[in-house]
Amino acid sequence: MRLSVNHVTVYRYDTPVRAVVQSHRLTPSVFDGQKAVDWNISVSGGLLGGGFRDGAGDYVQGWTVAGPLSEITVTVQGTVDTRDLAGMLRGHRELTPPGAYMRETHPTRADIALTDLARGVEAGTSDRLALAHALSEAVSDAIVWRSGQTHSHTTAAEALAMGEGVCQDHAHALIACARLRDLPARYVSGYLHTETSATAKDAAHAWAEIHINGLGWIGFDPANRCCPDERYIRLGSGDDAQGAAPIRGTARGGAEETLDVSVAVSSHQQ
The domain ranges of the chain are 2-81+247-268, 84-238
Main-chain phi, psi angles of 111, to 5 degrees = -100, -170
pLDDT over threshold 80, residue 201: no
Query: How does strand 164-165 pair with strand 144-145?
Result: parallel
Alpha-carbon torsion (220, 223, 224, 228), positive or negative: negative
Q: pLDDT per residue over 217-270, tens digit each?
A: 999 999 999 999 999 999 999 999 999 999 999 999 888 999 999 999 999 866
pLDDT band at 202 (very low <50, low <70, confident <90, very high): low
C-alpha distance across the termini of the chain, in Å: 7
Spatial contact of 209 and 236, defined as CB atoms under 8 Å apart: no
The pLDDT score that the predictor gives to residue 126 is 74
Quote the CA–CA distance of 13 and 196 in Å, as a whole number. Answer: 34
pLDDT band at 176 (very low <50, low <70, confident <90, very high): very high
Candidate CATH numbers 3.90.950.10, 3.90.190.20, 3.30.465.10, 3.10.620.30; the one for domain 84-238: 3.10.620.30
pLDDT band at 198 (very low <50, low <70, confident <90, very high): very low
Q: pLDDT per residue over 30-47, tens digit each?
A: 999 999 999 999 999 999
Secondary structure class of 237 (helix, strand, coil): strand
Quote the CA–CA distance of 155 and 158 in Å, as a whole number. Answer: 5
- The more confident residue out of 202 and 248 is 248
Spatial contact of 218 and 196, defined as CB atoms under 8 Å apart: no
The pLDDT score that the predictor gives to residue 255 is 87
Spatial contact of 103 and 178, defined as CB atoms under 8 Å apart: no
Helix, strand, coil % in the chain, rounded to nearest 5: 20, 45, 35
pLDDT band at 135 (very low <50, low <70, confident <90, very high): very high
pLDDT over threshold 70, residue 124: no
Nearest to 217 by CA among 186, 175, 176, 178: 186
pLDDT band at 139 (very low <50, low <70, confident <90, very high): very high
Assign domain 2-81+247-268 to a CATH class.
mainly beta
Q: pLDDT per residue over 58-80, tens digit each?
A: 999 999 999 899 999 999 999 99
